[in-house]
Amino acid sequence: MLGASTMDSQSLDPSLKLLLDALERTPDNAPLRVHVADMLAKAGQHAQAIRHYRQAVSDASVSSEARLGLARCALAMGDAEGSIEACDALLKEVPDFARGLIARAKARHSRGQHREGLADYERATSLDSTLHEPSLRDALIRDTSDPRAKFRVVSGGDSAPSGAAANVPDTSVPDRVTFADVGGLDEVKEKIRMRIVYPFANPELFKAYGKKVGGGVLFYGPPGCGKTFMAKATAGECRANFINVGLHEVLDMWIGNSEKQLHQLFEDARRRAPSVLFFDEVDALGMQRAKLHSGSMRGVITQFLAELDGFASRNERVLVIGATNTPWDLDPAFRRPGRFDQVLFVPPPDRSAREQILSLKAHAKPTESLDFGAIAQQTEGWSGADLEHLLDSAAELALAQSIARGSLEPITMTHVDKARAKIRPTTREWFSTARNYAQYANEAGQYDDIADYIRQHNY
């Protein structure tokens, strides 16, 4: 077991020493291990940090953070190749991990893969605008050898240079995430079972009733309420190949190439059927079109619609899931029959769902007599992501206390209450925009679910 004795303990700061002792007493405490590794890395003890990260990687609750730590340490030690590898593994598990994308951007920059690094950087900052690092971006742009990279998309008409195969989508079957990991959303789960899971398991039965297996489902709703998570769980449930497409990546390509990329993605999905092709933030298509004022985006949308239509039912056993939190930005043509013909509202979790989410997320953390029912009661309007944030903040408080006291303090209601006072739930803001659409732009009844929700919850 790793412990203070294996370290050059003279040079360690005192709180780190305490934590190392605590870790020796509770070696299975993976979050603590990652925290210790982070501190070691910060202190420049990269080799030691790496050993702890490696040990933590196998714990699902912290594996992403551990991989991120590995990537950063590898790069700090001059091993860009190893850093990219760690990032690849991380992003395969969690494609939207913005800090992981930044880490890979840096490693790729260091390996001379500037264009790919720039794509990572831009995707990361579009996911999380707080991650902007202008100096990194400038360096990536400066060093990108192909000058067209500076004029991506807007230049139009170009075909991509041969090196542009960097935007290979993440392809994986995330076997760990299933419906059991998703708190609440029982109605949505039931609809998905009928529409996706059963048909994929019994294609002959469904065909006998003249039903097609495959098609398109669109998830929409406020941020952080589980659209992306649900899509992953869906793929996990039906044991289909899950192909996660970062639309931003596809669209960041040179025009002309975007269409080819899209076609390639669908062909790949068809070849590997049964498969689920997941387009997160599918509104990017509509948004981009409005922003660009150019006909070039039309081509991409047309291509996308043609692929959805499947050129005469070639999409058998290929399911397309789209997710968006701005459904009003979507081209209405997407909703036509045979395309995204099933549109599912993913609402904020209700009280019992919040309780479930809290207990799911607290599972791997050291806690003491947390009353999830009481917390759920006090968090009306909070998203799943908000609740996760709440527990993380409470954990930070408990950790700070542990360091101050030199003993391991579990997370208690006091920590949670303190953390809660500092967090603003994020779904209300979405509803204040959504309300306008539900009231004034709901001719076809496409926002009835939102209207119902607002009525029932007095928003």
Binding region for Mg ion (CB under 5 A) = 227-228
Report the partner that residue 216 touches, choosing among ligand ATP, Mg ion, none (CB closer than 5 to 8 A by kind): none
CB of 228 to Mg ion, least distance (A): 3
- How far apart are CB 400 and ligand ATP at their closest, in Å? 24
Minimum separation from the CB atom of position 18 to ligand ATP (A): 30
**How far apart, in whole angstroms, are the C-alpha atoms of residue 82 and residue 304?**
36
- Taking CB within 5 to 8 Å according to partner kind, which of ligand ATP, Mg ion, none is near residue 384? ligand ATP
Check: CB of residue 12 under 8 Å from CB of residue 38: no
**Residue 95 touches which member of ligand ATP, Mg ion, none, C-beta under 5-8 Å by kind:** none
Binder among 82, 156, 223, 299 for ligand ATP (CB under 6 A): 223
Which token pair is 303? 């291509």
Cβ proximity to ligand ATP: between 184 and 216 the closer is: 184
Contact 419/403 with Cβ under 8 angstroms? no
Long-range CB pairs of 441-446 (<8 Å, 24+ gap) are 441/328, 446/327, 446/335, 446/343
Asked if residue 388 binds ligand ATP (CB under 6 A), the reply is yes
How does DSSP assign 236-276, residue by residue? HHHT-EEEEEEHHHHHTSPTTHHHHHHHHHHHHHHHT-SEE
Q: Which is nearer to Mg ion, 203 or 327 (CB)?
A: 327
| 325, 379, 427, 446: residue in contact with ligand ATP (rule CB under 6 A) | 325
**What one-letter code names the amino acid at 182?**
V
Interaction between residue 227 and ligand ATP (CB under 6 A): yes
Selection from 328, 316, 64, 346 nearest residue 224 by Cα: 346
Minimum distance, C-beta of residue 370 to Mg ion, in the bound complex (Å): 27
Q: Is the Cβ–Cβ distance between 348 and 222 less than 8 Å? A: yes
Minimum distance of ligand ATP from residue 184's CB (angstroms): 5
Which residue(s) pair with 215 in the sheet? 319
183's contact among Mg ion, ligand ATP, none, with CB below 5 to 8 A by partner kind, is: ligand ATP
Nearer to ligand ATP, 334 or 345 (CB): 345
The verdict on 184 binding ligand ATP (CB under 6 A) reads: yes
- Which of 183, 246, 286, 327 binds ligand ATP (CB under 6 A)? It is 183
How far CA 328 is from CA of 125, 309, 336, in Å, comes to 23, 21, 15
Give the span between the Cα atoms of 122 and 114, in whole angstroms. 12
Q: Which stretch binds ligand ATP (CB under 6 A): 13-21, 132-140, 179-187, 400-408?
A: 179-187
Rule CB under 6 A: say whether 376 interacts with ligand ATP.
no
Residues 234 and 199: beta-carbon distance below 8 Å: no
Q: Show the tokens assigned to 459.
A: 């928003």
CA 240 to chain centre: 19
Stretch 228-267: interaction string toward ligand ATP, x if CB under 6 A: xx--------------------------------------
Q: What is the rounded CA–CA span in Å between residue 302 and residue 277?
A: 18
Cα atoms in the Cβ-side hemisphere of radius 13 Å centred on 200: 24
The residue among 254 and 278 lying less far from ligand ATP, judged by its C-beta, is 278
Residue 361: CB minimum distance to ligand ATP, A: 7
* CB proximity list for 27: less than 8 A, separation 6 or greater: 1, 33
- In the range 347-366, which residues lie near ligand ATP by CB under 6 A? 349, 357, 360
Output the residue with the shortest Cβ distance to ligand ATP.
384
Residue 182: contacted member of ligand ATP, Mg ion, none (CB under 5 to 8 Å, by partner type) = ligand ATP
Q: Which residue has the tokens 């009231």?
A: 439
Residue 454 CA from chain centroid, whole number? 27
Q: What are the residues binding ligand ATP (CB under 6 A)?
A: 182-185, 223-229, 323, 325, 349, 357, 360, 384-385, 388
